Amino acid sequence: MDLNWLRDFICLGRTLNFTKAAQERNITQSAFSRRIKSLENWLGVPLIDRATYPVRLSEAGEQFLVAAKENVAQLTEMRQYIRQQESSRTSFQRFAVLHTISVNYLVHRIAEFEKTMTNLRARTISDSLASCCQLLSEGACEFLLVYRHKDIEPQIDEKLFARKDIAKERLIPVAERDAAARNGWALTAFHDQPVPYLSYDPSTFLGTVVDHTINYTKLPLDIRYIDGLVEALKRRALAGGGVAWLPEFSIESEMRSGQLIQIGPPKFEAVLTLSLYCSPSKLDETGLEVWERF
């Protein structure tokens, strides 16, 4: 049983609207619906009366909502207590971060800081966008490092947290050079042959961004592989498995060497903003220096 299922259900119990709840949880409506269904399957009873509009909780749902709220609150409180104990022993700067940003950006940035900040200790917590935002809101990390997109914003109250935009990054449709030439892959609405498509899991942030980017086009994409991780899709693309939308920071060397080439015109790119969030008033001296250096 996933704790996120409980958070999803609590959100749905408050909004009584699948679309609004999915937006608040930063996942697609279809993925949100699947998670609610998974929770119902785990319990063995329906929690939602779907025969009414707007939806409402079933009798079992009303009862379970109380337990869900209590358990999430207790687990969150205990996690925070344990983390505060650990933090008091050794002061770490904790970063909640999307996995691809951790691998392709943050690890290198922290290495630069360590050259002159001998007292810096850093811990990264790689998770989904919704979970990362939750960690910052609950005070379980000092920094949140995520992508922002014009159509998909992280659910962060910017009245409570400061934001610093660090860089722009393109999400580019690419394929292995020889495979693309050999198979004649092209991203055009009138292309006859379907192009094998290496897709993000639709519940992920990057999956949602790509869906928004190609939503109204008639691209001949044939989904052959789905994964939530950039590195997994990158390896499949390098092996000639198809076309994938990859962040440019993650494929800089492969693009320079020509192993990967861009497929399709710039209109199929998405522009991401790499943004750092924190509450400066809650940072220690080292944390403030990190914030200033980004």
Model confidence pLDDT, tens digit, residues 122-158? 999 998 888 899 899 888 899 999 999 988 878 788 8
- Please give the pLDDT value at position 25: 86
pLDDT lower than 70: segments of the chain: 83-90, 189-192, 216-217
CA atoms within 13 A on the CB side of 82: 6
Q: What is the pLDDT of residue 80?
A: 74
Residues of the chain with CATH 3.40.190.10: 90-166+274-293, 169-272
What pLDDT, on the 0 to 100 scale, is given for residue 214? 83
- Is residue 190 within 8 Å of residue 200, measured between CB atoms? no
Spell out the residues 6+ positions from residue 168 whose beta carbon is closer than 8 angstroms to its own. 271, 272, 273, 274
CA 219 to chain centre: 24
What are residue 168's phi and psi, to 5 degrees? Answer: -105, 145
CATH pick for 3-81 out of 3.20.20.220, 3.30.70.240, 3.10.129.10, 1.10.10.10: 1.10.10.10
The Cα 278–Cα 276 span in angstroms is 7
270 phi and psi angles, rounded to 5 deg: -125, 140
The CATH code belonging to domain 90-166+274-293 is: 3.40.190.10
Average pLDDT for the chain: 89
Residue 190 is predicted with a pLDDT of: 57
55-80 burial, b at 16+ Cβ within 10 Å, e below that, comes to bebbeebeebbeebeeeeeeebeeee
pTM of the model: 0.70
Tokens of 37: 């269904």
Q: How confident is the model over 55-76, as pLDDT tens digits?
A: 889 989 899 999 899 888 888 8
CB 229 within 8 A of CB 244: no
CATH of domain 169-272: 3.40.190.10
